[in-house]
Every structure is written in C-alpha cells, then in structure tokens.
Structure 1
C-alpha cells in the first residue's frame, strides 16, 4: 500500500490536490470533506485508512478553495477561492476527479461525503447518475439559511 499525491484540474483549470491510498485495486472510493475542511481532516483520513486496510483504494482531495492553510505562509495546496455555499461548484470538482480517475484506468466505485460533503455527493449523484454507491455521512439537513 502506498500514498500517492495526485493533482486534478477542474473545469476552471484550478488544481485540486489529493492523496490516493493505493492498495493496487482498480476500484477506488472518493472521500469528500465537509464545510471549510480538507483532505487532512481526521475523519477523512481515518476513513481512507480504514478502507485501505480492507484492500480498497481511496482518494481524498481538497475541493477548490478549501484545504488547510499553513498559518505563517498562508499556503493552500488546491487552487481557487473559498466561498460559503458552492455546492454545485464542488459537485463539478467531484466530476473532474471522477473523469481523471476513470481515465487513469481506475473505476470509481463509490463516493463518500462528510457533513457538507455529504450533500455535495448527493448533488453530484443526482446530476450525473454514473456512480451507484453514494454515502452521506452526517450531511447537513436544514439548508434554508
């Protein structure tokens, strides 16, 4: 098993930086972080490590404008500007990741999202209909505000 950094360009030519937990399996699960989070969020990392232990490859990435910032240098790996909301933009980021992984001789077998990411994976699935296993972990439920 190895951890591999993979950068994907979204449809706005912004870099989305992610990490593939590669077990050698062709199938891969995409794991999406929640509101103002990133690929280094403990729950996201723990989930990917658990999948890896079961022999399942997993890919975690920062949505555009997200990811943790190094305080002193204000460095973020992925491109883009953070904004409140952005559900459809993030669904399109998932689309770019799916296209990239499928084009790299992988098969995206599932998408998992935590909190806000849970809603984004549902939005993606309702638009594209190409991934049949969609997991919403603690997705936001009252979006009126």
Structure 2
C-alpha cells in the first residue's frame, strides 16, 4: 500500500471518528437541552432518547416536546442531527468505497506489471535477434 493510500484511509477513518464524536456531542447537548427545557422530560435518559429520535427524525411519539421553546429546540436538533448523521453516513460510505477502489487499483497494478514483464521479454528477444543479425554482418564503424 502506497503512502498516499494510507494517508487517504487515515483521513477517512479520522473523519469518521470526528463525525461520530460530533454526533455524540450533539445528542448529549440535545438530551441535556430537552431535559432542561421540557417539563415532561424527567430524566436525562429520557432527554437523550428524545434527542436521538428527534435527530434521527424517527419520532416514535412516546416522548414529544410540548412547549414552544422545546419545539424550537427540536428544530435545531433535527437540523444539526441530519447534518451530522449525514456526515457519519458519508464517512462510512467513503471508507467502503476506498477499500473497493484500493482492490481495483491493486488488480490494475498486477495486470500492468504482467504486461511490463511481457514487454521486457519481447524487447530482450528483439535485442537478441538484432545481436545475432549484426554478428553475421557487423555494422560499419563510423570514422572518428
């Protein structure tokens, strides 16, 4: 694996970790926000659940924001959640695509190396033929 490929995979993995970390941070802030803003959310666990279902746009309906401030906050959680979850999905997809592209590149490299070896054998055979032909009739030497 070349250095640039390793660097690309490292960046993709690091991007995935960053986006997962950002996702967890948004969910944590969302959970704390719902727990603090909504009178019907009594535990942090319920706030985190509401933040997750809101950010993922699942909305099971078991917990919902009731106040206007909670609903406005849920809009923010939805927008941030969609953006960050899209980043996580894109990072995962890029990781899988990079691995597939790497396999294709290795296959192309092997084929090119086979063709290069075949060309070297052909050039060597042609050189041998030229050497034999000139051995019978040496080329005239240029005067110096």
TM bucket, shorter chain: under 0.3
From the two aligned structures, give the one with the greater strand fraction: 1
TM-score, length of structure 2 as denominator length? 0.21
TM-score, length of structure 1 as denominator length? 0.21
From the two aligned structures, give the one with the greater helix fraction: 2
Bigger Rg, structure 1 or 2: 2
